Amino acid sequence: MLEALFDPRGVAVIGASQTPSKLGYGVARNLVMSGYGGALHFVNPSGGELFGRPMVRSVAEIPDPVDLAMIIIPAASVPGALEDCGKRGIHAVIIGSGGFRETGSEGAELERACMEIAGRYGIRIIGPNCIGYLDTHLPIDTTFLPLPGPIPGDIAFISHSGAICEAVIDWARGQGFGLSRLVSLGNQMDLTESDVLAPTAADPETRVVALYLEGVGDGSTFVQQASAVSKDKPIVAIKVGRSPRGRAAVASHTGALAGEEAAFEAALRKAGVLRAPTSEALFDWARALAWCPLPTGRKVAVLTNAGGPGAIAADALDAQGLALSDLSPTTHAALADLLPAAASLRNPVDMLASAGPHEYAHALRLLLDDSQVDAAMVILPPPPVSTAADVAAALIPEIQMAQKPVVVALMGEDLILQAARLFRQARVPDYRFPERAASALKVLVDRSERLAQPDEAALEPPVADADAARQSLDLCPVKEGLLPPDVCLELAHAYGLSLPESRLAHSAEEAVEAAEEIGFPVAMKVVADQLTHKSEAGGVALDLADASQVRLAYINVTQRTKQAAPDAKITGVLVQAMLSRGQEVILGMVRDPQFGPLLMFGSGGVEVEGLRDTAFALPPLQPHELAKMLESTWAGRRLDGYRHLPAGDRQAVADGLAALGQMARDLPSLMEVEINPLRVFARGKGASALDIRIRVGSSL
C-alpha cells in the first residue's frame, strides 16, 4: 500500500524557494493553495520564511509528522537528499527534478544510485522528471503547475507525460469536468503505472481511471492489476507509439506480424481496458463512463430537430456497430399526438425546427420509456425559436431520472455555450458532433458487455505432456534457432496437435521409400535451416501420385530451393500424406518481451502477410476471447460455412490455440511457433497441421 504517498500526514518540499520563477516556489505555493490539511514543511539551506511558514535548513530538522517529500533540486544533489530522507524516516518521495535517464548515461547512473539508496531505506519513489500528483478531494497538490488547478471531479488521470498533465488540467476546466486525482510518473525509476493503478482506482471519489501510456514497465503485472481494477471501475487508455518495432531473428509470419501494437492491443483487451483512438476520445469516453448508467443492449433512439444531423447520427451509430431502435406502435402513437404532422416519427425522430423545451423533454421521455430503446442520443443545434439553454434545462431532469444512458450532440459554438454549462453542471455528457456522441455510446455498450461476460474456465488442450516435450528439447542439439522437423513433430504430438503421417528423407530413393510406406498420393516439402517461406522458394510439391513423380519432385524442390535461397542449408525433404480438402488457417505464437506469449489466428497459406487477416490474444484464452478472434477475421467467420465450403471444425481450432498457449507456458525457451497452414476439416472431423515451425532461444 502507498498510504504515505497518497494520504500523507505531512509533506516536505526539499528545494522550496522564495523566488517565484523557480519550481520550488511553485510546489510550495500549490500545496498551500490546495488547502492541504496536513503538516507542511519547507526545506532550504538558506532558511527564511515562505508563505508565512519557516523554512528549515536540512531534512534532519523537519519536525513530525512527515510522510512524503517532494524533491525539486538539481539532479546531482538528489541522491544526497534521498539519503537524508531515509535517515529521517520518510518512506515516500516524489522527485520532480529532471536531468536523469532522459539525458543519457550519466543521468541513468544517477537513477541507479538513487534506487540503491531507496532500497536500503525502503523508500518508494515517483519520478524523477515528473510533475508529481494532486488529489482534488483530499485535497493536495504537489505539482508546480500554474494555478488554477483542476476542479474536483470523478475522473482520475495517470500519465507518463507531465506536459500532457498540464494540458489536460487546463482543457478539463474549459470543458467543465473535474478530476479526482492526477499522477505524473516521469521516468518511473521505481513506481510505475501498475503500482499506482489500484490505489488510484480505490479512491472512493474516482469513478473512471484514464491512462496516457507510452509503454509499460512489466507487462504481466500491468495486465494482472488492470484486470482486477477493471472489474470494479472502468479504465480508458491511450497508448502512443504505434510504429512497428523490429524483432531480432524473426522466423515466421507470426513474428513478422506480431509487433508491439498487436501485443499492446491484445494486452489491453485481456485486461478489460478500453483503448481510445485519440486524446479527445479518451476524455469523451471517460465522461460518459463516469456520468451515465450502462445500457443493456445496442439499440439507440435518436432525437433531433433537423433531418441532416439525424442522418449523420444514423451513419455514425452504424459505423460503431450500434443499431437504431425500432420504436413500438405505442411510442409512435404518443409521438404523433405530441409533434406536428410533418414530423418524422421513425428513428431518428425529427421533431422539426419548431421543437422547443416541452417537445424535447416529452419526446425524450417517450423514447426512454420504450422497451425497444437501450440508449438515446439527443441532437441539439441552436433552436430557432427558444434557446439551447432553455431546451437543456428541460432535458436535464428527464436525463437524470432515466435508467438508460443519454448523450447529447450539442452542435454549434457561441449559441450553445450556456446549454453546455448546464449539461456539464448536471453531469450530462455533451459532444459537438453526433460522431463523438456515437463513439461515447459505443464505449458504454462495450463496458456493459464486458461486465456481462461470465467468468469462464480457460480453454485447455486435449493433451499436454510437458515432460515429454521438455525431454525432446533437452535431447535436441539446437538451443537457439529453428528446431529440426522431427523435434517439431514430437512437440506437436506432446500437445495433441494432429499432423499428417510424415517421413524425413535425405535422398530421392529415401523419399520414394517414405512415400510407399505412407501411401500415395503424397506431398513433399524441402527442409532447410532458416528458410521461412518454402513455397516462395519452390520447395513444395503436391499430389505426387507415384514413385517416378516423387523422384523428379525431390530433384526439383532441392534445385529450386538452392537457386532461390543459395545460403539455405538443405538437410532433406519431408514426405507427407496428402489430406482431404478443408479450410486453411494459420495458428501462431510469438513471445513478446513485455507481455509474454502472444497467440495469432488468421487466414493461412502463402498470402498470410499480404492479407493480414489476423487476430491476436494473450493466453490462456477464455471461450469469449476465442469467439472474438474468430469473429474479427474472415478466416474465422468462414469457419461457419461459405458458399460451397461446409462449416469447419471450430473446436479443432480452439484446441490448437489452447495447445500453443499451454506449450508456450510450459516451455519458456520457445520464441516462435507457427502452424501454417492448419487444414480444418468439416465440423466434427478435426484439423491437421500441414507445417509446423518452432524457433527456440533465450531472448528476442
| % of the chain exceeding 70 in pLDDT | 96
Where are the domain boundaries for CATH 3.40.50.261 in the chain?
293-452
Can you tell me the distance from the alpha carbon of 239 to that of 115, in angstroms, rounded to the nearest whole number? 27
Do residues 189 and 438 make contact, with C-beta atoms less than 8 angstroms apart?
A: no
Do residues 62 and 55 make contact, with C-beta atoms less than 8 angstroms apart?
A: no
- CATH number assigned to the domain with residue range 501-577, chosen from the 4 options 3.40.640.10, 3.30.1490.20, 3.90.650.10, 3.40.109.10: 3.30.1490.20
Looking at every residue in the chain, the average pLDDT score rounds to 93
Do residues 657 and 626 make contact, with C-beta atoms less than 8 angstroms apart?
A: yes
Instruction: State the cell numbers at 96.
Output: 520532480
Where are the domain boundaries for CATH 3.40.50.720 in the chain?
3-206
pLDDT at 627: 94
Please compute the mean of the pLDDT values over residues 395-411 and round it to a whole number. 97
Distance of CA 490 to the CA centre of its chain: 36
Do residues 472 and 353 make contact, with C-beta atoms less than 8 angstroms apart?
A: no
Do residues 149 and 30 make contact, with C-beta atoms less than 8 angstroms apart?
A: yes
Instruction: State the cell numbers at 532.
Output: 521461412
Do residues 13 and 56 make contact, with C-beta atoms less than 8 angstroms apart?
A: no
Question: What sign has the CA pseudo-torsion 322, 326, 331, 335?
Answer: positive
pLDDT at 385: 86
Where are the domain boundaries for CATH 3.30.470.20 in the chain?
583-696
pLDDT at 246: 39
Can you tell me the distance from the alpha carbon of 95 to that of 14, in angstroms, rounded to the nearest whole number? 10
376-385 residue pLDDT tens: 999 999 999 8
Cα distances (angstroms) measured from residue 102 to each of 105, 109, 267: 9, 11, 27
pLDDT at 255: 45
Instruction: Determine if residue 215 is left, alpha or beta; phi over 0 gives left, psi from -120 to 50 gives alpha, anything else beta.
Output: left
Can you tell me the distance from the alpha carbon of 139 to that of 35, in angstroms, rounded to the nearest whole number? 6
Instruction: State the cell numbers at 118.
Output: 531507496
537-559 residue pLDDT tens: 888 999 999 999 999 999 999 99
Q: In the Cβ-directed half-sphere of 473, how many Cα atoms lie within 13 Å?
A: 23
Angle ∠(194,183,121) on CA atoms, nearest 5: 70
pLDDT at 658: 97
Q: Which fold has domain 293-452?
A: Rossmann fold (3.40.50)
Confidence of residue 252 (pLDDT cuts 50, 70, 90): very low
97-148 residue pLDDT tens: 999 999 999 999 999 999 999 999 999 999 999 999 999 999 999 999 999 9
Can you tell me the distance from the alpha carbon of 39 to that of 69, in angstroms, rounded to the nearest whole number? 12
254 has pLDDT over 50: no
β-pair partners for 156: 181, 209
pLDDT at 535: 78
pLDDT at 361: 98
Which stretch of DSSP H or E encloses residue 314?
A: helix 307-319
Confidence of residue 477 (pLDDT cuts 50, 70, 90): very high
354 has pLDDT over 80: yes
Can you tell me the distance from the alpha carbon of 74 to that of 565, in angstroms, rounded to the nearest whole number? 58
606 has pLDDT over 70: no
Q: Specify the CATH architecture of the domain 3-206.
A: 3-Layer(aba) Sandwich (3.40)
Give the DSSP per-residue string, 270-310: HHT-EE-SSHHHHHHHHHHHHHSPPPSSSEEEEEESSHHHH
β-pair partners for 615: 601
User: 509: closest CA among 540, 552, 544?
Assistant: 552
**139 upstream amide cis, omega within 30 of 0:** yes
Confidence of residue 278 (pLDDT cuts 50, 70, 90): very high
Q: How many residues does the chain have?
A: 700
3-class DSSP assignment, residue 346: coil
Cβ within 8 Å of residue 167, ≥6 positions away = none
Q: In the Cβ-directed half-sphere of 85, how many Cα atoms lie within 13 Å?
A: 33
Cβ within 8 Å of residue 210, ≥6 positions away = 155, 156, 157, 158, 235, 236, 237, 282, 283, 286
Q: Which fold has domain 583-696?
A: D-amino Acid Aminotransferase; Chain A, domain 1 (3.30.470)
pLDDT at 245: 46
Q: In the Cβ-directed half-sphere of 243, how many Cα atoms lie within 13 Å?
A: 2
Number of helices (H), then strands (E), belonging to the chain: the values are 24, 31
pTM of the model: 0.90
Angle ∠(139,140,143) on CA atoms, nearest 5: 145
Can you tell me the distance from the alpha carbon of 386 to that of 101, in angstroms, rounded to the nearest whole number? 59
Q: Which of 1-5, 73-77, 172-176 has the highest mean pLDDT?
A: 73-77
Can you tell me the distance from the alpha carbon of 579 to that of 523, in angstroms, rounded to the nearest whole number? 9
Cα distances (angstroms) measured from residue 537 to each of 398, 534, 584, 604: 68, 5, 20, 17
Distance of CA 200 to the CA centre of its chain: 19
pLDDT at 567: 83
Confidence of residue 249 (pLDDT cuts 50, 70, 90): very low
Question: Which range is least confidently modeled, 325-329, 346-350, 483-487, 534-538?
Answer: 534-538
Helical ranges in 355-414 per DSSP H: 357-369, 388-401
Which stretch of DSSP H or E encloses residue 569?
A: strand 569-577
557-574 residue pLDDT tens: 999 999 988 888 888 999
Confidence of residue 242 (pLDDT cuts 50, 70, 90): low
Cβ within 8 Å of residue 687, ≥6 positions away = 498, 582, 648, 649, 652, 653, 655, 656, 678, 679, 680, 681
623-651 residue pLDDT tens: 999 999 999 999 999 999 988 889 999 99
Can you tell me the distance from the alpha carbon of 699 to that of 687, in angstroms, rounded to the nearest whole number? 31
